Structure 1
Amino acid sequence: MTDVTDVNVGIIRFPGTNCDRDIEYAVNIVGAKPHYIDWNKKDLSNMDVVIIPGGFSYGDYLRAGSIAGITPIITAIKEFAKENKPVLGICNGAQILGEIDLVPGVFIENENARFICKNEKLKINTTRTPFTKLYKKDELVNLPIAHKEGRYYTDNLEELYDNDQIVLTFEDENPNGSLDNITGVCNNEGNVVAVMPHPERAVEKLLRSEDGLKFFKGILD
């Protein structure tokens, strides 16, 4: 097993990113090494894990994640993912991963066209990703959501089920109108994960829930 302190986590920052420090805090809790990497960099070769935080990259102009999707760091993220290394996109990060086709489907405007900020009960649908492998399949967790464009949609729903690519679903309600309650998906290989909820905001009891901590502990192997 890799020494925990040798796990380097790249935290990607765009103009408008605002959850980068939350990610840094969560990464520090599990003992890995966080590194801020700005949008104009082109090299991720020294990283073991990449996380794209939430926020409002470029003010969500045009479409959430669309401008971030054409910045220099994106080529490096795609190459990183192609090497089967772990990539996690959270909220705006999930929107970006959908925008650049590293995960199937897209996250579009909520059904009620309003920003939603609340805690939700969610189900872990697959444990084959680096970020969910420490959970049990169908385990229920409590994580906060905070988004206006979090409604998941895909034309290939059957394929997602066939390939075990659904990571998270809403359990008690569907607050944004997502297709089949889906609020987290992964690529076919399972190393790239996009989730709308914020596990980094649920890593200690002071934050009312520790249910997100395993997302970050899972990257240590």
Structure 2
Amino acid sequence: MPRTPRFAPKTPRRIRRLLVLGLLCVVGLLCVVAAITAALGFRSQSASSSSPPSPSSSAAPSLGEAGGAVPDGVTVFDDGYPAVANLRPDLLRALRSAAGDAAEDGVKFYVNSGWRSPERQDQLLREAVSKYGSEDEAARWVATADTSPHVSGDAIDIGGSNATVWLSDHGAEYGLCQIYRNEPWHYELRTDAIDRGCPRMYADPTQDPRMRQ
């Protein structure tokens, strides 16, 4: 008598059910993979959009250090910065002579601003108009590129209150004079001051005839 199988063969209905379940698993796995891929793509896009701009999209050189911007800590002896190196040679010599003597009193001449490119001067003027609310008020603090002694290399803004105090006492001995009463940091060279003392200060740049050219 033939031997009865221990398990009955699978019916076509069970096979179809297993095929359907298998297909659902495959579809579900594909959905999970697609979701992970989308999440990674979104993260990559977010990271790229928040990353700093490439060097090619950075500010124009004429507005950065090449245009006269000065980082903290620069002194009148730092020729590596155009703001210092592009000053008039006679002004720079006077500044370094004064700075050498001031160092004996523990005073260092930092540079807040020196030579500036015309483009940087225009930028500073626009910022001043925005800050002070009008061109007339901005003119008390920032000159145009055509009239600014910074653009011609004839002026320097000295940083540090102890340095400006030292210069107010001794600057005339080197021909270094404060020009505007409202800007105790702004110095220019007046060689006559060595013998005669510094000329009378203007209240602000709007009183300076050079600014009306």
- TM superposition score normalised by structure 1: 0.23
Q: Please identify which structure carries the higher strand content.
A: 1
Structure ranking higher on relative contact order (CA contacts 8 Å, 6+ apart): 1
